[in-house]
């Protein structure tokens, strides 16, 4: 009898539970209607599997793993700060990959003809110092301390981002335009070089330009920023040619792109979100318009560096070829691609470069050197 009672009680509990379960499943959680079926990071990865699987072939699986793993940082030393951040970081095992390469060259064996040019480049840029840990570790102390003037000692960034600035080969007195400059890592790198004639940093996004201003204020003395030599603007870069043409010695065109590493790891502000399909499809068109504007802004004989943080052939080589074609067809401007091999060869111990690119150079992420992707191509304006 007691057993029968217990069984009945148990059955009632199960029935109650079933009711509960049914009621629960009837109530749709609020997020069920808004939550995307596939997160943007997954869509990005799928897109890259198709596009880069065929573009990079056997290289893609290792690049894919590296993209999904923690990236490695570099610390750009701020020469304007009184802090000896360099010594501090060196004590922790960091090495300046730029001066190390220059020193190796100076102490090295025979110097070839192509190296002659790059050796002089290295001396020009010995002011740029970027420290990385030599081992397979991504750790870098995240906080840089302000000095007595409130200026920070170093800026954390992808160390490969320094390469387009080195390729730009800025010299004393040069006038430089950074067309898409926010949040400002490359502008800050350029400012570490020589005494520039004039630097114009521009970004079409007002909020990002404010961020760029804050970054520069944290690293560059006030006097230098309020000097007429640095100008911060917020124009649509594609229209730059309407304002100013044929004037800059150097132009950096670091365009918006699919930001491959961000796209496979962060859902926030991801260009692979369903509502941003249009933005993504228009990217090559926007990039071409920006590069064309950069070519128009350079003086004849001036040099332009185009860069992205994407592996996409369409956004890289495709854009360079199309912009050079339009410069000639629409404006009668001849350009020439400058070989960056002599520069990248010097850094082959620090970065992995994609083999056999016909136009430009590209750092590809690798587990043992998890920097990039960074694509760069240098053009010289001939007419
Ligand atoms: C890759 S980010 C630049 C990163 C920057 N060079 C750095 O090193 O910190 C691309 C930038 O282009 C800007 N941008 C997008 N469209 C633009 C346009 N039409 N004109 C100028 N800037 C634009 C974006 O706001 C974004 O800040």
Q: What is the pLDDT of residue 36?
A: 74
Q: What is the pLDDT of residue 241?
A: 86
Q: Is 181 known as a binding-site position?
A: yes
Distance CA 101, CA 108 (A): 10
Q: Is 130 known as a binding-site position?
A: no
34 pLDDT above the threshold of 80: no
The DSSP output letter for 100 is H
Q: What is the pLDDT of residue 19?
A: 38
H or E stretch at 74: strand 74-77
Nearest residue (CA) to ligand 1, atom 15: 256
Nearest residue (CA) to ligand 1, atom 1: 256
Q: In a 10 Å sphere around its CB, with 0-12 CB exposed, 13-18 middle and 19+ buried, how is residue 136 labelled?
A: exposed
Q: In a 10 Å sphere around its CB, with 0-12 CB exposed, 13-18 middle and 19+ buried, how is residue 330 labelled?
A: exposed
Average pLDDT over residues 73-102: 90
Q: Is 302 known as a binding-site position?
A: no
- Number of neighbouring beta carbons within 10 Å of residue 254: 26
Q: What is the pLDDT of residue 358?
A: 94
Asked whether the beta carbons of 284 and 362 are under 8 A apart, the reply is: no
Residue tagged active-site, from 130, 165, 257, 309: 309
Residue 369 in 3-state DSSP?
strand
21 pLDDT above the threshold of 50: no
Phi/psi region, residue 158 (left: phi>0; alpha: psi -120 to 50; beta: rest), is: beta
Helical H segments across the chain, by residue range? 2-26, 31-34, 40-56, 60-68, 85-91, 97-107, 113-124, 162-168, 185-191, 206-219, 222-226, 240-243, 260-265, 277-297, 317-331, 341-346
Atom of ligand 1 minimally distant from the CA of 189: 8
List residues near ligand 1 (CB under 6 A).
161, 179-186, 203-205, 208, 236-238, 254-256
The alpha carbon of 209 and the centre of ligand 1 are apart by a number of angstroms equal to 9
Q: Is 2 known as a binding-site position?
A: no
Average pLDDT over residues 73-77: 95
The alpha carbon of 205 and the centre of ligand 1 are apart by a number of angstroms equal to 8
Q: What is the pLDDT of residue 33?
A: 58
Task: Report how far apart, in Å, the C-alpha atoms of 343 and of each of 121, 162, 235, 273 are.
Answer: 8, 12, 32, 37
H or E stretch at 130: strand 130-132
- Quick: pLDDT tens for 101-110: 766 666 654 4
Q: What is the pLDDT of residue 5?
A: 52
Q: Which residue from 128, 130, 165, 180 has its CB within 8 A of the most atoms of ligand 1, so it is best to mutate? A: 180
The alpha carbon of 276 and the centre of ligand 1 are apart by a number of angstroms equal to 17
Q: Which pLDDT band holds residue 99 (cuts at 50, 70, 90)? A: confident
Q: Which residues contact 184 (CB under 8 A, 6 or more apart)?
A: 201, 211, 212, 215, 216
Q: What is the pLDDT of residue 37?
A: 79
Phi, psi of 57 (to 5 degrees): 60, -130
Please report how many Cα atoms fall inside a 13 Å half-sphere around the Cα of residue 3, on the Cβ side: 0
Q: What is the pLDDT of residue 120?
A: 39
Q: Which of 56-65, 111-120, 278-287 has the lowest mean pLDDT?
A: 111-120
Q: Which pLDDT band holds residue 3 (cuts at 50, 70, 90)? A: very low
Q: Beta 230-233 vs 298-308: how paired, if at all?
A: unpaired
Q: What is the pLDDT of residue 74?
A: 94
- Which is more confident, 92 or 129? 129
- Quick: pLDDT tens for 220-247: 999 988 877 999 999 999 999 888 999 9
The CATH code of the domain at 40-381 is: 3.40.50.150
The answer to whether 200 is a known catalytic residue is no
- Quick: pLDDT tens for 151-200: 999 999 999 999 999 999 999 999 999 999 999 999 999 999 877 899 99
Average pLDDT over residues 250-262: 98
Q: Which of 137, 140, 180, 370 is nearest to 261 (CA)?
A: 370
Q: Which residue from 168, 205, 209 has its CB within 8 A of the most atoms of ligand 1, so it is best to mutate? A: 205
Please report how many Cα atoms fall inside a 13 Å half-sphere around the Cα of residue 123, on the Cβ side: 7
Average pLDDT over residues 113-137: 60
The alpha carbon of 240 and the centre of ligand 1 are apart by a number of angstroms equal to 14
* Domain range summary for the chain, segments of one domain joined by +: 40-381
Residue 246 in 3-state DSSP?
coil
**Burial annotation 24-61 (CB, 10 A radius, 16+ → b, else e):** eeeeeeeeeeeeeeeebbebbbebbeebbeeebeebbe
- The length of the chain is 383
Q: Is 236 known as a binding-site position?
A: yes
For the chain, the average pLDDT equals: 87
Q: Is 318 known as a binding-site position?
A: no
Q: Which of 19-28, 160-169, 312-321, 340-349 has the lowest mean pLDDT?
A: 19-28
H or E stretch at 159: none
The alpha carbon of 381 and the centre of ligand 1 are apart by a number of angstroms equal to 22
Nearest residue (CA) to ligand 1, atom 12: 180
Q: Which residue from 203, 235, 297 has its CB within 8 A of the most atoms of ligand 1, so it is best to mutate? A: 203
Q: What is the pLDDT of residue 102?
A: 64
53 pLDDT above the threshold of 90: yes
- Quick: pLDDT tens for 353-367: 999 899 999 999 999
Nearest residue (CA) to ligand 1, atom 17: 204
């Amino acid at each position: 009898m007691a057993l029968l009672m217990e069984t009945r009680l148990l059955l009632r509990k199960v029935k109650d539970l079933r009711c509960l379960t049914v009621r629960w499943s009837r109530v749709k959680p609020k997020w069920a209607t808004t939550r995307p079926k596939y997160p943007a990071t997954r869509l990005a990865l799928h897109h890259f599997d198709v596009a880069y699987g065929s573009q990079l072939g056997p290289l893609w699986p290792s690049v894919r793993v590296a993209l999904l793993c923690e990236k490695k940082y570099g610390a750009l030393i701020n020469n304007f700060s009184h802090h000896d951040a360099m010594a501090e970081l060196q004590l922790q095992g960091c090495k300046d990959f730029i001066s190390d390469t220059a020193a190796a060259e100076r102490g090295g064996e025979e110097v070839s003809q192509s190296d002659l040019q790059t050796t002089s480049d290295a001396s020009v840029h010995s002011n740029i110092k970027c420290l990385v840990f030599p081992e397979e570790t991504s750790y870098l102390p995240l906080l840089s301390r302000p000095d007595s003037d409130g200026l920070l000692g170093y800026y954390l960034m992808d160390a490969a981002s320094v390469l387009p600035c080195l390729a730009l080969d800025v010299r004393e007195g040069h006038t430089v335009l950074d067309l898409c400059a926010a949040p400002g890592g490359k502008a800050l790198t350029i400012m570490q070089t020589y005494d520039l004639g004039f630097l114009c940093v521009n970004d079409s996004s007002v909020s990002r330009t404010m961020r760029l201003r804050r970054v520069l204020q944290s690293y560059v003395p006030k006097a230098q920023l309020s000097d007429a030599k640095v100008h911060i603007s917020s124009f649509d870069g594609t229209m730059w040619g309407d304002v100013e043409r044929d004037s800059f010695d150097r132009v950096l065109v670091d365009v918006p792109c699919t930001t491959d590493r961000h796209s496979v790891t962060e859902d926030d502000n991801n260009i692979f979100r369903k509502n941003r399909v249009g933005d993504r499809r228009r990217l090559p068109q926007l990039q071409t318009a920006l590069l064309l504007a950069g070519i128009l802004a350079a003086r004849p004989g001036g040099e332009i560096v185009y860069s992205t943080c994407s592996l996409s052939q369409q956004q890289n080589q495709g854009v360079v070829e199309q912009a050079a074609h339009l410069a000639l067809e629409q404006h009668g401007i001849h350009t020439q691609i400058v070989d960056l091999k002599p520069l990248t060869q010097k850094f082959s111990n620090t970065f992995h470069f994609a083999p056999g690119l016909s136009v430009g150079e590209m750092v590809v992420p690798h587990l043992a050197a998890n920097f990039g992707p960074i694509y760069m191509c240098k053009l010289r304006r001939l007419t």
